Amino acid sequence: MLRRWMVLGTGGTIAGTAPSALDHTGYSAAQLGVRQLLHGVPGLQELLQGEALDGEQEAQLDSKDMDHATWQTLARRCRALLEQPEVGGIVITHGTDTLEETAWFLQLVLDTAKPVVLTCAMRPATALMPDGPQNLLDALAVVRDPLARGVLAVCAGRIHSARDVQKVHPYRLDAFGSGDTGPRGWVEQGRVRWADAGGWPSVHAHARQALALPAADWPWVAVLHSHAAVDVRHLNALIQAGVKGLVLAGTGNGTVHHALMAGLKEAQDRGVAVRLCTRCAEGQIVGQGQALHRSPPGLNAYKARISLMLDLMA
């Protein structure tokens, strides 16, 4: 069955306009219709891969003025849409000021396993660099994700649950937090990464060897970092000394100083197990195209070293 996705507009800064592209505060919220917002999103057709998308205006207000009657209209429309088998889920464009309240109300009254994703913007649509189109695109990526359930909020690449989401900043683009719980996930390059996707880690296939092999015979795996003015002699010394595995903590999105790259590829070709991760404290490498093998997603260099050491205990 062809799936259909609905985007319901309610106003907010995402639909706001200002006289100047440089004005992020002196704007009027709730000026553009939801169809105009959808037209302003590049990449929408590629994302939808032929699936149907409709926009509907349910309200047009600055969310500081949200009221119970609007909630009721919105919830009734959501319920009616979600009962239609072909409707896979709903995105709601909303002002940031009371987004968390609408999210929680909808979570309490909509009895459905299908996702309802609220999204928003901190800058008006007329800004030099508006955040609304990306947030809308991200919200559509989330609503279409097979693991998305219940009422969620998406802003600045982070996914929050209706229970935890809260506006925590009056100006910056990443204006929402989820308190102690943290976000439910992230949207990166159009892909959703759920915080709990890994589940409980399973016992390593070589656990038996790790307990039986004398510790002195465990494979030698070292951690190397890529950094400014890195010296390839560190790498050469490790290889000459017989290192079996190398975890390379790359800069940023797993980039490697050119002084190291050729030596690492050569080491990999000669049988040294090389694994690449990021030296950034949060997140993981996004996208494809690295010449080096990746370490398991989400592990820092020191944990990746342990995993690789056990991998090499075959």
Residues annotated as catalytic are 13
Distance CA 284, CA 186 (A): 11
Residue 118 engages ligand SIN in binding (rule: CB under 6 A): no
C-alpha pair distances (Å), 198 with each of 45, 148, 160, 299: 30, 15, 18, 11
Q: Which range in 5-13, 133-141, 229-237, 286-294 contacts ligand SIN by CB under 6 A?
A: 5-13
The reply on whether position 227 binds ligand SIN by CB under 6 A is no
For ligand SIN, the closer CB: 101 or 188? 101
Nearest to ligand SIN of 20, 25 (CB atom): 25
* Smallest gap from residue 11 Cβ to ligand SIN (A): 6
Q: Are strands 221-225 and 176-177 parallel, antiparallel or unpaired?
A: unpaired
Interacting residue with ligand SIN among 64, 76, 191, 227 (CB under 6 A): 64
CB of 17 to ligand SIN, least distance (A): 12
CB of residue 13 vs ligand SIN: minimum separation in angstroms? 3
13 part of the interface to ligand SIN, by CB under 6 A: yes
Query: Residue with CB nearest ligand SIN?
Result: 95
Question: Per CB under 6 A, does 12 bind ligand SIN?
Answer: yes
Q: Does 295 bind ligand SIN (CB under 6 A)?
A: no
Stretch that binds ligand SIN, among 59-67, 149-157, 190-198, 211-219 (CB under 6 A): 59-67
Q: Per CB under 6 A, which region of 95-103, 214-222, 234-242, 256-264 contacts ligand SIN?
A: 95-103
Among residues 54, 62, 188, 311, which is the contact residue for ligand SIN, using CB under 6 A?
62
Among the listed residues 5, 93, 96, 224, the single contact to ligand SIN using CB under 6 A: 96
Using the rule CB under 6 A, is 120 a contact of ligand SIN? yes
Q: Does 29 bind ligand SIN (CB under 6 A)?
A: yes
Residue carrying the six token digits 């007329």: 126
Distance (Å, rounded) from C-alpha 215 to C-alpha 253? 34
Asked if 124 is part of the footprint of ligand SIN (rule: CB under 6 A), the reply reads: no
3-state secondary structure of 215: helix
Report the interface residues with ligand SIN, using CB under 6 A.
11-13, 29, 62-64, 95-97, 120, 122
